[in-house]
Amino acid sequence: MTIINALNWRYATKRMNGKKIPKAKLDSILDAISLAPSSFGLQPYSILVVEDEAILSRMKAIAMMQPQITEASAVLIFAAWDKLTLERIDAYIQLVAKERNVTLDSLKQMKGYIENQLKNSDSDNLTWSAKQAYIALGVGLVAAALEEVDSTPMEGFDHTKLDELLNLRSRGLCSSVLLALGYRDDFNDYLVHLKKVRRSKDNLFLHFH
Ligand SMILES: Cc1cc2nc3c(=O)[nH]c(=O)nc-3n(C[C@H](O)[C@H](O)[C@H](O)COP(=O)(O)O)c2cc1C
């Protein structure tokens, strides 16, 4: 499938049929997400992969009872770092040094650039981290479509309650957005046969030649 075919095929699935995604496909979607770019390469978020039915039912209750949550095969929770800290920056710099086999000294300037972010408030850095998480969400959406796995990006949930349900704050995380992954229910999903609506390209793209 070409990427354009995949993006035309996908839609924000309202009803799923409960069928499980083969492990290899889920792994491939997670691999793609792990390759998403982020500012400085910091990946200031974690992604929870929830397949536990009891947890999914409790999540549905705080997500406006949206059925995809329990009809999905897995729901990913993109959770941003609650704050940027020296420890988190240090851990990343150590990783770069190890993976690229370079000295910590050679990374001083890069570390300084990242540490500049510490001048911002925790709340601004949380917003910044959440933006990075949304890029990973986008990559996940496209990867799922290429694997012919349906998905729904979802912001319609109570963030505070979800953080409490999974003790995310104790891990230094705040939930940003969900991605339900599964297979469309052709009979019960009113959106299956509806035309995709997008602004015209003339309206969307402003060309400067
Ligand atoms: C960040 C974000 C949050 C969304 N939240 C929800 C949601 O909570 N529930 C839902 O059914 N769809 C949700 N959607 C799906 C959008 O309504 C859908 O992507 C949009 O109408 C375009 O349709 P398409 O994705 O089917 O092409 C969300 C989409 C995005 C990108």
DSSP per residue, 67-97: THHHHSSEEEEEEEESS--HHHHHHHHHHHH
For position 1, what pLDDT does the model report? 84
Q: Same domain for 67 and 50?
A: yes
Q: Which of 119, 142, 168 is the last residue of a domain?
A: 119
Instruction: Count the domains in the chain.
Output: 2
Classify residue 209: in a domain, yes or no. no
Neighbouring-strand partners of residue 12: 151
Q: For position 185, what pLDDT does the model report?
A: 98
For the chain of 209 residues, list the mean pLDDT of each consecutive stretch of 10: 96 98 98 98 98 98 98 98 98 98 98 97 98 98 98 98 98 98 97 96 97
Residue owning the nearest CA to atom 20 of ligand 1: 12
Which residues fall within 8 angstroms of residue 47, CB to CB, at 6 or more apart? Answer: 30, 33, 76, 77, 78, 79, 136
What are the beta bridge partners of residue 47? 78
The upper half-sphere exposure of residue 173, i.e. CA atoms within 13 Å in the direction of its Cβ, equals: 22
Instruction: Examine residue 41 and state whether it is found in any structural domain, yes or no.
Output: yes
What's 125's DSSP letter? H
3-class state of residue 31 by DSSP: helix
- Do 89 and 115 belong to one domain? yes
pLDDT value at residue 181 = 98
How far apart are the CA of 26 and the centre of ligand 1, in A? Answer: 21
pTM over cut 0.85: yes
Residues 63 and 95 in one domain: no
Q: Are residues 49 and 9 in the same domain?
A: yes
Q: Which residues pair with 151 in a beta bridge?
A: 12, 181
Q: Which of 151, 154, 194, 204 is the best mutation target for the ligand 1 pocket, counting ligand atoms within 8 Å of the beta carbon and taking the most?
A: 154
Which CATH number characterizes residue 63's domain? 3.40.109.10
Residue 146 lies in a domain: yes
Domain of residue 112, residue span = 85-119
Is position 188 within any domain? yes
At residue 62, the pLDDT reads 98
Statement to judge: residues 21 and 115 lie in one domain: no
CA 147 to ligand 1 center in whole angstroms: 19
